[in-house]
């Protein structure tokens, strides 16, 4: 059977059914190996103020949050882009 993508849009391989994660954008349940995972550092203080405080020598803590996005939300947010037929087969890391 011809495939649109080399990995059929997932990173499942030969393993069977995996667990589902909820999309952070729309709440849809997507397979964990299909969803796009993004980790971001989130600061409580806003960036302009944080920069000023850091210059004064203050320590500002931040937490790391993990987001999972379904494919349509990932495209909407520009995490992944629609690529040409041959380009699709190349594996690229998510920024
Ligand atoms: Zn979504």
Using pLDDT thresholds of 50, 70 and 90, give the confidence band for residue 94. Answer: low
Q: What share of the chain is helix, strand, coil (3-state, %, to 5)?
A: 20, 25, 60
Helices (H), the chain: 47-55, 71-76
Ligand 1 center–CA 54 separation, angstroms: 36
Ligand 1 center–CA 45 separation, angstroms: 28
Instruction: Decide if 73 is inside a domain.
Output: yes
Instruction: Decide if 29 is inside a domain.
Output: yes
pTM: 0.76
Beta bridge partners of 36: 69
- pLDDT given at position 52: 92
Instruction: Decide if 68 is inside a domain.
Output: yes
What does the pLDDT look like over 59-92, one tens digit per residue? 888 899 999 999 999 999 999 888 888 888 777 7
Cβ atoms of 35 and 75 closer than 8 Å: no
What does the pLDDT look like over 13-58, one tens digit per residue? 899 998 999 999 999 999 999 999 999 988 888 889 989 998 999 8
Instruction: Decide if 34 is inside a domain.
Output: yes
CATH number (domain holding residue 41) = 3.30.1740.20
Ligand 1 center–CA 86 separation, angstroms: 26
Instruction: Decide if 43 is inside a domain.
Output: yes
Instruction: Decide if 87 is inside a domain.
Output: no
């Amino acid at each position: 059977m011809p495939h649109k993508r080399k990995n059929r849009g997932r990173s499942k391989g030969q393993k069977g059914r995996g667990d589902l994660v909820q999309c952070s954008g729309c709440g849809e349940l997507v397979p964990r190996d299909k969803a796009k995972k993004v980790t971001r550092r989130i600061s409580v203080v806003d960036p302009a103020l944080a920069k000023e405080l850091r210059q004064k020598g203050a320590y500002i803590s931040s937490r790391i949050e993990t987001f999972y996005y379904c494919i349509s939300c990932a495209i909407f947010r520009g995490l992944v882009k629609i690529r040409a037929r041959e380009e699709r087969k190349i594996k690229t890391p998510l920024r």
